[in-house]
């Protein structure tokens, strides 16, 4: 991020003072005094200032690392000194705390709770601290939208005109795919062109807003779906203004967005009801029960299944023996191989047995899990809700051969 203040490396007495920091000293006044701009637009420290620390402070091995002041404060704050329990699970986080990184941390801590390495109370403390720090800092650290990202950028608009001219013929013959390609090229160019604007942090962090919003306001509306299911497009952006002959098109976009929220949410809601009703008699047997079914579900363990831990806490049958996937690495030998998965689909006991169901629901102490199954339909509902804010149309080419190998 480009800020007015230069990034410095902390040394000597100043560095030593920071090294003595523990979680109890991190409070609103402390953050405000150190990281907020005063009336002269100057601040004591830039969160990107650098400091050399030793991980031993976090009960880890004695290893020096260069980190930023902001990351250091985060790590110190979420670890309860001197215990530093979270550190033993996720280590020292020395990368930008984007939405993705926070999700990764949350995933690891949630698994730690399931594996009894951490209590629910400790997880709650982490969530409270994480959210307090994030929301408190947003008051004086987070950038707002600046003029770079509100106005049309002359370079981007120049390229837009060039591309529309260059692909004039293709637009006439294949408008939707061609405009889709131009949209993407312009969006990539704008992202690179504006990367040093402080406001880009809003999009780069992944915490709020999508760069696609910028495309709509400042590049071009692009391809849109109409209420009748067909597609049309507009090459103007909202900042440039809606042309008279495009009024109908833009009204249609509003209809499609509102229809998503008012009509399609009901579809997801209804699906939730069906799923909850259908599975309300679904119940798990006692822990360690095994119905002894000989039937299993063959599944190809892809890298994606391994990375996303989709088979964690499930039972596989391998060489006539049950293999329990207790941690991610247990599945490693099976990557790119077809495994035989024990599944509730083939359970032959009255209640679903432990080996067919896996251990997850037992860890969650959910013996009647039907409410958890509505996650699928909730997703459907959320997508319809999102349609109200973004009606962006993405096109992708599919090769059928990729799916029928």
Tokens (6 digits) for 34: 């150190």
Query: Can you say how many angstroms the Cα of residue 250 is from the centroid of all Cα atoms in its chain?
Result: 30
Residue 338 Cβ vs Zn ion, minimum distance, rounded to whole Å: 21
Cα 167 to Cα 19, 180, 183, 187, 233, distances in angstroms: 59, 12, 12, 17, 15
Check residue 356 for interaction with Zn ion (CB under 5 A).
Answer: yes
Residue 282 Cβ vs Zn ion, minimum distance, rounded to whole Å: 13
Which residues, numbered 271-300, are part of the site for Zn ion (CB under 5 A)?
Answer: 291
The residue among 157 and 356 lying less far from Zn ion, judged by its C-beta, is: 356
Residue 345 Cβ vs Zn ion, minimum distance, rounded to whole Å: 10
Tell me which of 216, 353, 377, 387 binds Zn ion, using CB under 5 A.
353
**Contact pattern for Zn ion over residues 234 through 273, marking x by CB under 5 A:** ----------------------------------------
In this structure, the number of other CB atoms found within 10 A of the CB of residue 233 comes to: 20
Residue 299 Cβ vs Zn ion, minimum distance, rounded to whole Å: 17
Residue 355 Cβ vs Zn ion, minimum distance, rounded to whole Å: 6
Check residue 341 for interaction with Zn ion (CB under 5 A).
Answer: no
3-state helix, strand, coil in the chain (%, to 5): 50, 10, 40
Residue 32 Cβ vs Zn ion, minimum distance, rounded to whole Å: 58
| H-assigned helices in 115-199 | 120-138, 154-166, 168-173, 175-193
Residue 361 Cβ vs Zn ion, minimum distance, rounded to whole Å: 13
Structural contact between residues 307 and 281, judged by C-beta atoms closer than 8 angstroms: no
Cα 321 to Cα 153, 316, 324, 355, 358, distances in angstroms: 64, 8, 10, 12, 15
For 184-221, letters b (16+ CB in 10 Å) and e give: eebbebbeeebeebbbbbbbebeeeeebbbbbbbbbbb
Tokens (6 digits) for 67: 């980190």
**CB contact set of 166 (below 8 Å; sequence gap of 6+):** none
For 324-359, letters b (16+ CB in 10 Å) and e give: ebeeeeebeebeeeebbbbbeeebeeebbbbbbbbb
The residue among 174 and 283 lying less far from Zn ion, judged by its C-beta, is: 283
Residue 294 Cβ vs Zn ion, minimum distance, rounded to whole Å: 11
Stretch that binds Zn ion, among 258-266, 317-325, 354-362, 367-375 (CB under 5 A): 354-362
In this structure, the number of other CB atoms found within 10 A of the CB of residue 237 comes to: 21
Check residue 112 for interaction with Zn ion (CB under 5 A).
Answer: no
Check residue 73 for interaction with Zn ion (CB under 5 A).
Answer: no
The residue among 24 and 288 lying less far from Zn ion, judged by its C-beta, is: 288
Count of positions on this chain that bind Zn ion (CB under 5 A): 4
Tokens (6 digits) for 360: 């997850």
The residue among 312 and 353 lying less far from Zn ion, judged by its C-beta, is: 353
The residue among 291 and 392 lying less far from Zn ion, judged by its C-beta, is: 291
The residue among 294 and 400 lying less far from Zn ion, judged by its C-beta, is: 294
Stretch that binds Zn ion, among 88-96, 107-115, 307-315, 339-347 (CB under 5 A): 339-347
The residue among 84 and 347 lying less far from Zn ion, judged by its C-beta, is: 347
The residue among 182 and 347 lying less far from Zn ion, judged by its C-beta, is: 347
Check residue 347 for interaction with Zn ion (CB under 5 A).
Answer: yes
Q: Which residues are near Zn ion by CB under 5 A?
A: 291, 347, 353, 356
């Amino acid at each position: 991020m480009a800020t007015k203040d230069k990034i410095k490396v902390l040394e000597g007495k100043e560095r030593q003072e920071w090294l003595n920091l523990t979680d109890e000293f991190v409070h609103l006044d402390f953050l405000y005094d150190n990281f907020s701009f005063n009336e002269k637009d100057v601040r004591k420290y830039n969160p990107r200032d650098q400091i050399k620390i030793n991980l031993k402070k976090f009960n880890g091995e004695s290893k020096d690392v260069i980190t930023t002041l902001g990351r250091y404060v985060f790590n110190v704050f979420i670890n309860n000194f001197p215990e530093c329990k979270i550190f033993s699970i996720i280590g020292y986080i020395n990368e930008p705390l984007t939405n993705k990184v926070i999700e990764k941390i949350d995933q690891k801590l949630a698994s730690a709770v399931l594996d009894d390495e951490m209590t629910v109370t400790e997880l709650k403390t982490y969530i409270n601290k994480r959210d307090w720090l994030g929301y408190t800092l947003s008051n004086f650290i987070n950038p707002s939208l600046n003029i770079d990202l509100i106005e049309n950028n002359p370079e981007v608009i120049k390229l837009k005109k060039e591309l529309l001219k260059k692909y004039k013929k293709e637009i006439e013959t294949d408008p939707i795919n061609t405009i889709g390609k131009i949209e993407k090229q312009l969006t990539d160019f704008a992202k690179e062109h504006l990367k040093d604007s402080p406001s880009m942090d809003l999009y780069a962090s992944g915490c709020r807003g999508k760069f696609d919003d910028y495309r709509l306001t400042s590049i071009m509306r692009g391809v849109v779906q109409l209420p009748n299911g067909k597609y049309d497009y507009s090459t103007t952006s909202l900042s440039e203004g809606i042309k008279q002959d495009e009024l109908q098109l833009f009204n249609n976009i509003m209809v499609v967005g509102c229809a998503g929220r008012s009509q399609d949410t009901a579809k997801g809601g209804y699906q939730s009801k069906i799923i909850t009703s259908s599975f309300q008699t679904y119940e798990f047997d006692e822990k360690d029960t095994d119905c002894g079914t000989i039937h299993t579900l063959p599944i190809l363990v892809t890298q994606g299944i391994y990375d996303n831990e989709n088979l964690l806490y499930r039972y596989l049958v391998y060489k006539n023996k049950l293999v329990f996937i207790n941690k991610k690495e247990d599945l490693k030998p099976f990557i790119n191989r077809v495994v035989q998965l024990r599944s509730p689909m083939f359970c032959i006991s009255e209640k679903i047995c432990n080996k067919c169901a896996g251990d997850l629901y037992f860890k969650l102490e959910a013996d009647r899990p039907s409410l958890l199954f509505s996650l699928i339909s909730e997703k459907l509902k959320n997508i319809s809700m999102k349609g109200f804010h973004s009606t962006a149309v993405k096109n992708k080419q599919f090769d059928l051969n990729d799916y029928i190998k």
